[in-house]
Amino acid sequence: MHSTPDLTHLETPCLVLDDGRMERNLERMRAQLRRLGVRARPHVKTCKSTAIGARMADTPRGPITVSTLAEAERFFAAGFVDVLYAVGLAPNKLDHVLDLRARGCDLTVVVDNVDGAAAIAARRAGIPALLEIDADDHRAGIRPHSDALLATARALADGGVLRGVMTHAGASYACRSPAAIAAMAAQERDAVVTAAARLRAAGHQAAVVSVGSTPTALFGEDLTGVTEVRAGVYVFMDLVMVGLSVCTLDDVALSVLCAVIGHQRDKNWLVTDGGWMALSRDRGTAALPIDQGYGVVCDQHGVALPDLVVHGTNQEHGLVARRDGGTLDFAQFPVGTLLRVLPNHACATAAQHDRYHLVRGRELTVHAVVPRFSGW
């Protein structure tokens, strides 16, 4: 980390992180998991930063969750040892997995089919794995009552090590109330607890029972039978989480600093240098009750101007307009005005940048610059 003067000295677009909001988000999750009596295995795919990951994790050695082997490499090099690679394993990554494990990384992988389990077992290297369970018909995984559950466990046992089960309730992002999210959290829990019980009854080990999504983690009411929670976007929050009532605009810690570079008066647009290459093309709020375009606009201090959204983007241009299509007061936004845009999806927006500029509250002073990485 190194210091730099303030936001007005930065070239735009760039990524700004409100340290105080981030710490509040971290403490909220810590308090919730303490209440539920489960440990955290935070997902570092959102931050892709070892410095921020260290603030999310319980210890300097983990546990953490990653979504790429590049993340596993970076975090292992920084001292994190207990790592779950929480994406179904492609056989072409087995050599890399074995190399990481040979160097001392306690890397666990995920599988949800007999062929993948057999490929792991064929290495005869005792690679530990979790079976991915489908809790909500959202994406990958084995249904908890499926015959494939035990068949996959048997295939893995012939050379691999079954550590337990995991799931991700992605359908929680389609919920429209805290009560619905809480119900999804119970559904998520029941799916993995049932799967683990079936495995144990058949003579398999299932010590790990892992769940995880930011909405279900924060609104879950009873995680009996669950051993760990994986979540990631809570560290920054975003407009999708706002739309799900998981947080408020004042909890969103991440923003993209951009500058007004022109006016289109006949269209009532401000043109900025923050296009989709800076904001990402994620339009996750389009399916929510309030469509936030490509992001809610704030002033340079991070104070939301909720009437303004980035309604359109080109690669390097952002088009800011009033939400109601009304007339802009262009005198308030002369060329050169700095604006900050809150992201629809924190993971996608952060992925467009290589560093965070940390500020506190409404201050413009940048007290640290923290690198992040990308790639697979």
Residue 6 in domain: no
Residue 376 in domain: no
Instruction: Give the pLDDT confidence score for residue 2 in this predicted structure.
Output: 44
Confidence of residue 279 (pLDDT cuts 50, 70, 90): very high
Residues 224 and 329 in one domain: no
Residues 183 and 319 in one domain: no
Q: Which of 198, 215, 236 is the last residue before a domain boundary? A: 236
What is the rounded end-to-end Cα distance, in angstroms, of the chain? 24
Q: What is the pTM of this model?
A: 0.96
Residue 263 in domain: yes
Q: Which of 236, 269, 289 is the last residue before a domain boundary? A: 236
Are residues 149 and 186 in contact, defined by beta-carbon separation less than 8 angstroms?
no
Residue 11 in domain: no
Q: Averaged over 292-317, what is the pLDDT?
A: 97
Nearest to 257 by CA among 352, 340, 351: 340
Per residue in 12-54, pLDDT tens?
Answer: 999 999 999 999 999 999 999 999 999 999 999 999 999 999 9
The token pair that represents 301 in the structure block: 């201090």
Residues 91 and 218 in one domain: yes
CATH code of the domain in which 312 resides: 2.40.37.20
Per residue in 55-101, pLDDT tens?
Answer: 999 999 999 999 999 999 999 999 999 999 999 999 999 999 999 99
Contacting residues for 170 by C-beta, under 8 A, at least 6 apart: 136, 138, 139, 213
Structural domain span for residue 255: 249-371
Percent of the chain scoring above 90 in pLDDT: 97
What are the start-end ranges of the H helices in 109-205?
114-122, 147-157, 178-201
**Residue 339 CB neighbour total at 10 angstroms:** 25
CATH code of the domain in which 172 resides: 3.20.20.10
Percent of the chain scoring above 70 in pLDDT: 99
Residues 316 and 218 in one domain: no
Are residues 141 and 135 in contact, defined by beta-carbon separation less than 8 angstroms?
yes
Residues 278 and 299 in one domain: yes
Residues 205 and 318 in one domain: no
DSSP code of 142? B
Per residue in 321-363, pLDDT tens?
Answer: 999 999 999 999 999 999 999 999 999 999 999 999 999 999 9
CA gap 324, 206 in Å, rounded: 53
Number of compact structural domains in the chain? 2
Residue 243 in domain: no
Residues 344 and 215 in one domain: no
Report, in angstroms and rounded to the nearest whole number, the Rg of the chain calculated over CA atoms: 22
Nearest to 229 by CA among 108, 24, 23, 64: 64
Instruction: Give the pLDDT confidence score for residue 4 in this predicted structure.
Output: 59
pLDDT over 90 (residue 306)? no
Instruction: Give the pLDDT confidence score for residue 56 in this predicted structure.
Output: 98
